[in-house]
Amino acid sequence: MRAALQEALSRGWVRMVALVCAATVGARIAGAVLSSEIHFSATLAEPGKFSRLEVALLLIGSAISIALFFRRFGPILRIILRSKKDKDFSLRPIGRRVWDFFWEVLCQGKVIRQRPLPGLAHAFVFWGFLAFALVSLNHLANALELGFLRPGSYIGNFYFIFAAIWALLVAVSIAGLFVRRFLARPIWFGTKVSNESGVIAFLIFLLMVSYLGAFFVGDGGVAVKALWWTHTLTLLVFLPLIPHTKHLHLVLSPLTVFLKRDGFSKIPPLSSDEDFGLIAGKDVTQLISLQVYSCVECGRCTEHCPASNTGKVLNPKEIILGVQSYLNQSGPASDAPLLTEGLVDSRDNPPAKYMSMEAAFECTTCGSCEYQCPVGIQHLPIIIGLRRGATNTGAWEDTHGTKLFLALEKQGNALGLSAMERDKFIEKQAFPIFDGTQEYCLWLGCMGGYDPKGREIVADFARVMRHLGTSFGVLKKEKCTGDPARRLGNDLVFQTMAESGLKAFETAKVQKIVSICPHCVRTISNDWSEYGIAPEIEHHSEFMARHKDRLPQQASGESIVYHDPCYLGRYRDVYEAPREIVAMAGELVEAPRSHERSFCCGAGGGLAFLGEEQGERVSNVRAAELAATGAQVVGTACPFCNTMFRDALSSMGDAPPQLLDIAQLTARALPKMQEAGEQ
């Protein structure tokens, strides 16, 4: 068997190993380390006896290395542990946590899926490290004559070769990543070159090469000893660098992924009468501390952020790093405000107002950052936490924001119109009032009840329901779900709205709700749970997709590009239902950024109600992207997206694509008889 194995090795991939090694690194090693001629052996060379001096040096070196590691890691650990406890934290559901750990950490699923090439390179480095753990342990143990993997043994030989393949993959991957970071330099890495990344990449490369080199030298020689020490010293230098750099994620991120808050964009309840959100260090919880120290500064969050991409101050990565610097400087018990209006130094980018109210209130809460983060950082509870701290205390003074809150307080809708306007609309559409006999309560929402375009969508969806023969009614009085207040951090208004809504459903004995607005669906089904149990709610795309067999198939041949609303896609994981509806109305076209990578329309997070944006309008960027697909129709599934694109498309000049909600796309094909019968 040994012979067979050796033959296979000498012929197959090991020859490749040797070739690539010789080609890429062999020259350097040969020159620097090896004085003898290069020869290759399928077994790993062992260094000879270690002198007492060598053993002493190793032990001292290791002690220093470990001490240096803990000198930095200790304080970080203390900061995390001394942060405020997460009162709402629960390990359940454990299954989800185990799965996330398996998929995101062990399989590197997210990293690979969202950035295939660098993702795969990273995965190889990670898996290589796992494979290498035993080798490294054995490597150090050898000096103490405690080595457990013998090159001569079957297991030892197999494992060394196995690790060698990984070492090669790691070496190639890290070299590729090095080229990407220092030569290709994607913009989201920031403008400053990260030298530490270069050093780390070099150390990893050296680790691999010094391991692989042992296949090219004989047992017990000077060369193998030199390689051994190179490898060992690299390890000893590498260890203390981990907590000093973003490579701390090697230690923390598996834990972060496992412990992250359950649910997407989950905003934790305020923990006490003294808790108003993230105002100062004392409000930063353990999960937030753990997450900000896990940041690997890859910039995926910023790469996908609609604010960062359109010239705004907000940069989600810098928010995370800003909290991290704050904790380093002021600690988790500090009363100093987290949000400062001044310029904050950044590790990678020129100083900017990253930790400012301006930045915090530029977030559309689209959730791309949180969705993309490979190390389990949950940006939304942090950004919304900062907003809560500003809004709940009245520190946030914004004309439009105040107007919105007063409108919600007084009129009960975000548009600030008289509730009588909704009554008139209901009367005109002859919508029945929900009285407990109907199957569904049709929730209009602020857009459906007050906005002209939203009303068209609701009216068309009602036609679809009537066509299907589904009984429905609307509430006599309906207030906003509190979504914009929730996302802007106004817990007082949100709570008032949630409680009033829950009471309205209870009084009317509603069992099932359907709505055209993903924001309403999310807020009712998820955010309201802090104050009570809401009836089951679904989005009209889900409702229509379920009944699609009874909806008309159109042979229009029209090309329709579908835009995924953030609150339906990333927030609710509904991607296919609206596509099924679109596909029935014409030919479905995908935008360059679609599904979970969809780019926001700019309306979320209460921003639809705030003033003019800085820089480019998010809606213009997305509308241009959708129009550039050449599709004849832009299909939406959210009245906010619709209204944003209506303005953006109309400013685009000659013959912009038509803009229709999926309800409108369906209703236009309903038999005319039906229509006449209704009117």
Partner 1 sequence: MKILVAIKQVPERDAQIGIAADGRWIDESDLNYTINEPDAYALEEALQLKEKNGGEVVVMCAGPERAASTLREALAKGADRAIHIEAEDLGERDTLGVAQVLADAARDEAPDLILTGLQSEDLGLGQTGVVLAELLGIPHATIIMQVEKTDTGLRVKRELEDGWFQHVEMPLPALLTIQSGGNKLRYATLMGIKKAKTKETKTVQAAATASPSITLERVYLPEKQKKTEMLTGTPDEVATKLVEKLKFEVRVI
The residue (of 402 and 674) whose beta carbon lies closer to partner 1 is 402
The correct pick among 20, 222, 251, 492 for binding partner 1 (CB under 8 A) is 492
Helix (H, G, I), strand (E, B) or coil at 306: coil
Residue found under tokens 């305020």:
270
Number of other CB atoms surrounding residue 600 within 10 Å: 33
Amino acid at residue number 302 = T
- Smallest gap from Cβ 413 to partner 1, in A, equals 10
- Smallest gap from Cβ 504 to partner 1, in A, equals 14
Residues 395-424 close enough to bind partner 1 by CB under 8 A: 399, 401-402, 405-406, 409-411, 418-420
**For residues 485 and 523, what is the distance between their CA atoms, to the nearest angstrom?**
11
- Smallest gap from Cβ 615 to partner 1, in A, equals 26
Helix (H, G, I), strand (E, B) or coil at 191: coil
391 binds partner 1 (CB under 8 A): yes
**Stretch in the footprint of partner 1 (CB under 8 A) among 191-199, 352-360, 485-493, 579-587:** 485-493
Query: Phi first, then psi: what are they for 304, rounded to 5°?
Result: -100, -5
Dihedral angle of Cα 540, 545, 547, 548, to the nearest 10 degrees? 130
Asked if 353 contacts 362 with a C-beta cutoff of 8 angstroms, the reply is no
Number of residues that bind partner 1 (CB under 8 A): 22
Its sign, for the CA torsion 544, 545, 546, 549, is: positive
**For residues 520 and 602, what is the distance between their CA atoms, to the nearest angstrom?**
17
The residue (of 412 and 657) whose beta carbon lies closer to partner 1 is 412
Closest of 583, 83, 495, 442 to residue 270, by C-alpha: 495
**Stretch in the footprint of partner 1 (CB under 8 A) among 177-185, 484-492, 544-552, 643-651:** 484-492
**Stretch in the footprint of partner 1 (CB under 8 A) among 5-13, 325-333, 489-497, 644-652:** 489-497
The residue (of 3 and 420) whose beta carbon lies closer to partner 1 is 420
- Smallest gap from Cβ 423 to partner 1, in A, equals 9
528 binds partner 1 (CB under 8 A): no
The residue (of 282 and 547) whose beta carbon lies closer to partner 1 is 282
Distances (CA, A) of 210 to 28, 34, 45, 132: 11, 11, 12, 13
**For residues 310 and 619, what is the distance between their CA atoms, to the nearest angstrom?**
10
The correct pick among 83, 210, 364, 490 for binding partner 1 (CB under 8 A) is 490
Residue span 532-561 as binding mask against partner 1, x where in contact by CB under 8 A, dash where not: ------------------------------
- Smallest gap from Cβ 299 to partner 1, in A, equals 34
Residue span 498-527 as binding mask against partner 1, x where in contact by CB under 8 A, dash where not: ------------------------------
Closest of 660, 194, 321 to residue 457, by C-alpha: 660
Do the bridges between strand 633-636 and strand 587-590 make them parallel or antiparallel, or are there none, so unpaired? unpaired
The residue (of 273 and 612) whose beta carbon lies closer to partner 1 is 273
- Smallest gap from Cβ 390 to partner 1, in A, equals 10
The correct pick among 394, 630, 653, 677 for binding partner 1 (CB under 8 A) is 394
Q: How many helices (H) and strands (E) does the chain have?
A: 30, 8
Closest of 312, 298, 311 to residue 377, by C-alpha: 298
- Smallest gap from Cβ 91 to partner 1, in A, equals 29
The residue (of 402 and 650) whose beta carbon lies closer to partner 1 is 402
The residue (of 497 and 516) whose beta carbon lies closer to partner 1 is 497
The correct pick among 392, 515, 594, 598 for binding partner 1 (CB under 8 A) is 392
- Residue-by-residue DSSP string for 6-67: HHHHHHSHHHHHHHHHIIIIIHHHHHHT--SPP---SS-----PPPHHHHHHHHHHHHHHHH
- Smallest gap from Cβ 530 to partner 1, in A, equals 13
- Smallest gap from Cβ 487 to partner 1, in A, equals 15
The residue (of 286 and 392) whose beta carbon lies closer to partner 1 is 392
- Smallest gap from Cβ 527 to partner 1, in A, equals 16
Residues 51-110 close enough to bind partner 1 by CB under 8 A: none
The residue (of 51 and 399) whose beta carbon lies closer to partner 1 is 399
- Smallest gap from Cβ 405 to partner 1, in A, equals 4
The correct pick among 29, 493, 537, 545 for binding partner 1 (CB under 8 A) is 493
The residue (of 15 and 428) whose beta carbon lies closer to partner 1 is 428
- Smallest gap from Cβ 332 to partner 1, in A, equals 22
Do the bridges between strand 440-443 and strand 658-661 make them parallel or antiparallel, or are there none, so unpaired? unpaired
The residue (of 356 and 391) whose beta carbon lies closer to partner 1 is 391
The residue (of 265 and 391) whose beta carbon lies closer to partner 1 is 391
The residue (of 52 and 410) whose beta carbon lies closer to partner 1 is 410
Residue found under tokens 């050093």:
199
Q: Which positions ≥6 away from 514 have C-beta within 8 Å?
A: 440, 441, 442, 443, 465, 472, 537, 538, 539, 540, 543
The residue (of 459 and 485) whose beta carbon lies closer to partner 1 is 485
Query: Phi first, then psi: what are they for 158, rounded to 5°?
Result: -60, -45
Q: Which positions ≥6 away from 185 have C-beta within 8 Å?
A: 193
Residues 267-306 close enough to bind partner 1 by CB under 8 A: 270, 273, 276
- Smallest gap from Cβ 79 to partner 1, in A, equals 27
**For residues 580 and 586, what is the distance between their CA atoms, to the nearest angstrom?**
10
Any idea what DSSP says for residue 309?
Answer: G
Query: DSSP strand E in 280-327: where?
Result: none
Query: In the β-sheet with 512-515, what is the strand arrangement from edge to edge?
Result: 472-473, 440-443, 512-515, 536-539
- Smallest gap from Cβ 199 to partner 1, in A, equals 47
Query: Phi first, then psi: what are they for 285, rounded to 5°?
Result: -90, 170
Q: Which residues in this chain contact partner 1 in the complex, by CB under 8 A?
A: 270, 273, 276, 391-394, 399, 401-402, 405-406, 409-411, 418-420, 490-493
